[in-house]
Chain A
Amino acid sequence: MYKWFLAWRYLNTKLIALFGIASVMFCVAMVLVVLSVMGGFLDTIRSRSRGLHSEIVLEGGTLQGFSYYEEFGAYLAKELPDVVKLHTPVIYTYGIFRVPATTFTKPARVLGIRLKDYVRVNDFQKGLYYDRYYPGTTHLGPQALPVAGVSLFGDVRLPEDLERANDLWREGEMDPEAIASFDEQPFEKAPYPYVTPVMPSERVYSAHVGEPTYKEPLHDGVIVGCDLIHYRRSDGHFDRQIARGADVALTLMPLNPSGNPTGEPPVRLPLRYSDDSHTGIFEIDSLCVYVDFDMLQHRLAMDPQPLVSGGFTRLRTNQLLIGLWEGVDLNDACDRIRVAWRDFYASLGPEVSEADRRALGFVEVYTWEDLQRPFISAVEKEKVLVTLLFAMISSVAIVLVGCIFYMIVEKKTREIGILKAIGASGRGVTSLFIAYAGAVGVFGAVLGLILGSAFVWNINAIQDYLASWNPSLRVWSPDVYSFDRIPEIVKSADAFWVGSVAIVSSMVGSLIPAIIAGRVWPVQALRYE
């Protein structure tokens, strides 16, 4: 009994125990923060990757793409109607993105999508900016430049269809704060009462004095990754400098079915900036632009082209995104679609050209997890590595507890002698100090978990506060970590493990001093006052 009693009493009366508790506390807090942030980072990547493509992707593996995708789509609809909900082709290529108003250029990954179907297989729509506040007005077809009308009294009105769409959003919006913050954005205060594609405000449209209107010519629409077209402020918000509907241009390089340039000069596409997309993954948002599938297919010469030998090439795509019905098991569906693809490939007749056949041979069926695995597993490893690193740093706490307990044992030598003299065993005295260290560990762990959780829950506020002092203190750079917000979730399992390991470590740290205490020879300890 004396072990528990004395351990408890020492904990209450010895100031030095507070140092032990503090060192355990800070280490626990540190490891918990690292584990939570990295874990949250991983989970965010997982959930965002999930919404990036579609459940199943038929991937061509080449830039020139593959043919017979429509035939395979029809085959799927016939063979697996209870698995496949819908499929939609995607073309991807690379190009040069240019904003004529600023002569700003950047490399771009260009995706040709059928917007209506594309948003049904993934979360793309959630990241569209104008589509949120003006639902239904984002499209990739030919469109004119919307121009807001500024009255002589300074009132600003958009063309009727945009105003109506905005009203629709206001009626449907559940969060009154979202409406308030939208209304706060500096649209009304736009300082340029004339048509200009470049305006320093957030919900920007071009404007002029007079009636709202649309300005021709018509150009195909483009959705641009938000980091590609806008400047991200250090607080994570975007400075929308470019008005909706502004002219932008893409320069592309068409390839023939065997992957060679067609010999035509590069294609220059004049487009209108219809919306911007925020998937939350920086690598995508700083690179991707989205245009209409059929338009891009045509401009890249991936539609039927006359052959010298007579006849035509076939329609080509780079990917076929396949959405599944609710409740269908992902891996099971993937296996069945893989089999379907193999069967379909085998059923193709001799009319298939050599180049088409070769490209079809590269096609693979993936789940979204397969596609993201290299990235996710890299982050998983990073999480383990960083956690391990910080755990190693935290092992300093073990040494510290060892030092503190060594000092305690030194100071308590006489009392240890008394304990021995009244019959305590060496093992009993050792376990007294281990119990004491355990109590230090428990308090340190609990306080550390509280501190760490509080830190994680407020980590973005802390960062914003630091950045308000000095922007260079913004440690979480969105370009490096893909996300603009730091994850703020503490998992109870993480907390449990970190706490338990801390308690055990604290006991391990006290082991050597505790053994020394157990070996104290009573007469030696009691000889002098």
Chain B
Amino acid sequence: MSNPCLTATGLHKTYKMGKADIEVLRGVSLHAEPGEYLVITGASGSGKSTLLSILGALDTPDKGTVTFQGRNVFQMPSAARNAYRNGLVGFVFQFYHLFPELNVLENVLMPRMVMYGAVKWWSVRRQAKRDGAELLERVGLDHRAKHRPKELSGGERQRVAVARALINRPALLLADEPTGNLDESIGAGILSLLARLNDDGQTIVMVTHDPKVAAYAHRSLVLKEGVIHESSEPGSERPVPAPVGTEVVR
């Protein structure tokens, strides 16, 4: 446990629903090492998305801390927290959440545009486009760069979302049920993509309700009744990654 990339300690989150309080997280603690592929499984409604949102600073915990590379995420000034969301973590959602008006390449470049002002962008735009093209190639969508999201299949959209999450080379990739909305075979393509990214050194924290998915990870945890339970370390059983873009060939 040397120098973890991400540490969460004692996270609590309660939602108020009318009179009843729903205690979703009741003291969640976890850590992710650099280069690790961590999967958190849990039943639907167990609070996985809530947890991941807090890790990605999209939401705040009622109690507890998230430390990223030694800095407490929720004590950062808001500009630094924006920079954290923008450059240090990448987020992949279950429902892709692409910009419908933008084409694939523009979607991928969006976090880079957010990073720079208009003047600075002018000088970095060539490099950004190269990076975007390269990422699209890595996720097997270089031939779709000019297409709108609605012209793509679900699996392709999720690949675009992965590329977008990676454009600013984040230290940590957070994935919230990236295959939850996809057929199993297509989901497998995404999972193998993530596995290959991890092989290249990308730290990944993924949540899923599907225990089978946990097979891809180095380590898996179970979220149940608001707390984390350790699970076995299935790293050796990881299946061989399928070739990129299998679901395109359907």
Contact = CB atoms under 8 A, between A and B. Distances in A.
Chain A's interface size range is 20 to 34
B21 to A, nearest CB: 18
A268 interface: no
A3 B114 CA distance: 8
Given A522-B58, A523-B59, A423 B95 contact: no
Contact of B79 (A425, A523, A526): A425
Interface stretch (B80-88, B185-193, B218-226): B80-88
Contacts of A428: 114
Contacts of A358: none
Contacts of A420: 58, 85
Contacts of A3: 118
Interface in A501-529: 521-523, 526-529
B117 interface: yes
Most chain A CB within 10 A, of B93, B114, B118, is at: B114
Interface string B41-75: 00000000100010010110000000000000000
A4 B114 CA distance: 11
A529 B58 CA distance: 17
Contacts of A6: 99, 101
A422 B85 contact: yes
Nearest to A4: B118
Most chain B CB within 10 A, of A418, A423, A523, A526, is at: A423
B101 A13 contact: yes
Given A1-B117, A2-B110, A13-B101, A421 B56 contact: yes
A527 B59 CA distance: 12
Contacts of B82: 423-425
Contacts of A526: 58, 93, 95, 97
A425 B86 CA distance: 10
Given A422-B114, A425-B82, A9 B87 contact: no
Contacts of A9: 101-102
A344 interface: no
Given A1-B121, A4-B118, A523-B59, A423 B101 contact: no
A414 interface: yes
Main secondary structure of the interface of A (DSSP, over half): helix
A9 B113 CA distance: 14
Contacts, number: 76
B111 interface: yes
Interface in B90-140: 91, 93, 95, 97-102, 106, 110-111, 113-118, 120-121
Contacts of A528: 95
Given A9-B102, A13-B101, A523-B59, A424 B93 contact: no
A141 B128 CA distance: 91
A192 interface: no
B117 to A, nearest CB: 6
B78 interface: yes
Nearest to B59: A523
Contact of A523 (B53, B84, B113): B53
A422 B121 contact: no
Interface in A1-37: 1-6, 9-10, 13-14
Contacts of B91: 421-422
Contacts of B99: 6, 415, 418
A422 B98 CA distance: 11
A423 B59 contact: no
A97 B79 CA distance: 85
A418 B97 contact: yes
Interface in A404-421: 414-415, 417-421
A135 B20 CA distance: 100
Given A415-B99, A423-B87, 12 more contacts: A1-B120, A5-B113, A418-B99, A420-B58, A422-B91, A424-B82, A425-B79, A523-B58, A526-B58, A526-B93, A527-B49, A529-B95
8 pairs of A and B residues whose beta carbons are closest in the complex? A423-B86, A1-B121, A2-B113, A423-B85, A1-B113, A523-B59, A422-B111, A529-B95
